[in-house]
């Protein structure tokens, strides 16, 4: 699968780059006097090129081997990096309960990438109406838990049965690799990524080894 993902990434990203550069060239040539309808379609091209690149990135993140450089790092720092990479939508309020100043043994960037996927999953669950997302850091048996909970409608029985399965998603767009990739990154650390049963909305826990 890694080889297939690399080939797809290379063979599709090259023409996407040409499309994106061509759209930019046309936009700059037309300048400020561009017709509104033309400007709208150029913006659509740029947006869809970016979305396609993001999808390729998700595929490569899941398919490629993970190389860790684990060292002691504050759990709160991982949360901050993840929130910077996945800023909350306008109608979503995010709260962080850092608790004690706990440290984990992790690769900061890869652990934050796992948490970023849990945050994005929570934001998607809230939809356009928005809501609340809480992030809680707590000590656990042999590790540290970072739990992300949303105030959305929760998960159906059918959705729970397919959680963490690659290419399984209830969203109209996307590859369905977010949770699968988060679990892969967590397990590479010797940790875990799992659904937290009970409570309002839906909650997922990222467990990392304590430092």
- Per-residue model confidence as pLDDT tens digits over 57-81: 777 777 777 788 899 999 999 999 9
- The three-state secondary structure class of 38 is helix
State yes or no: pLDDT of 25 exceeds 70.
Answer: yes
- The residue-averaged pLDDT of 86-105 equals 92
Q: Looking at the structure, do residues 84 and 187 belong to the same domain, yes or no? A: yes
Element (DSSP H or E) covering residue 116: helix 108-126
Q: Are residues 168 and 94 in the same domain?
A: yes
pLDDT of residue 170: 67
pTM for the model stands at: 0.77
Helix (H) or strand (E) holding 193: strand 192-196
**Mean pLDDT over the full length of the chain:** 87
Q: Are residues 121 and 170 in the same domain?
A: yes
Residue 126 in tokens: 């809230």
Q: Check whether residue 171 and residue 78 sit in a common domain.
A: yes
Residues 6 or more apart whose CB falls under 8 angstroms from that of 98 comprise 75, 76, 79, 137
- In terms of pLDDT, which residue wins out, 174 or 91? 91
Q: How many domains does the chain have?
A: 2
* Domain span at 111: 71-209
Structure tokens at 61: 């993140």
Task: Report residue 112's pLDDT band, with 50, 70 and 90 as the boundaries.
Answer: very high
Domain edge (last residue) among 39, 63, 87:
63
Which carries the bigger pLDDT value, residue 15 or residue 208? 208
């Amino acid at each position: 699968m890694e080889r297939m993902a690399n080939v797809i990434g290379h063979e599709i990203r090259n023409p996407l780059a040409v499309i994106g550069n061509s759209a930019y060239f046309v936009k700059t040539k037309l300048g400020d006097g561009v017709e509104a309808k033309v400007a709208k379609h150029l913006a659509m091209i740029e947006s869809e090129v970016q979305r396609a690149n993001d999808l390729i990135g998700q595929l490569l993140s899941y398919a490629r081997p993970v190389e860790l450089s684990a060292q002691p790092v504050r759990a709160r720092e991982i949360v901050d990096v993840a929130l910077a990479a996945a800023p909350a939508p306008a109608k979503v309020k995010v709260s962080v309960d850092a608790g004690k100043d706990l440290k984990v043994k992790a690769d900061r960037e890869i652990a934050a990438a796992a948490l970023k996927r849990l945050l994005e999953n929570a934001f998607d669950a809230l939809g356009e109406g928005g809501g609340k997302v809480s992030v809680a850091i707590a000590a656990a048996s042999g590790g540290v838990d970072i739990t992300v909970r949303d105030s959305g409608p929760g998960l159906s029985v059918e959705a729970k049965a397919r959680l963490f399965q690659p290419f399984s998603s209830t969203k109209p767009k996307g590859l369905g690799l977010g949770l699968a990739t988060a679990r892969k990154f967590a397990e590479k650390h010797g940790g875990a990524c799992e659904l937290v049963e009970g409570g309002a909305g839906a909650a997922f826990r990222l467990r990392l080894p304590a430092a």
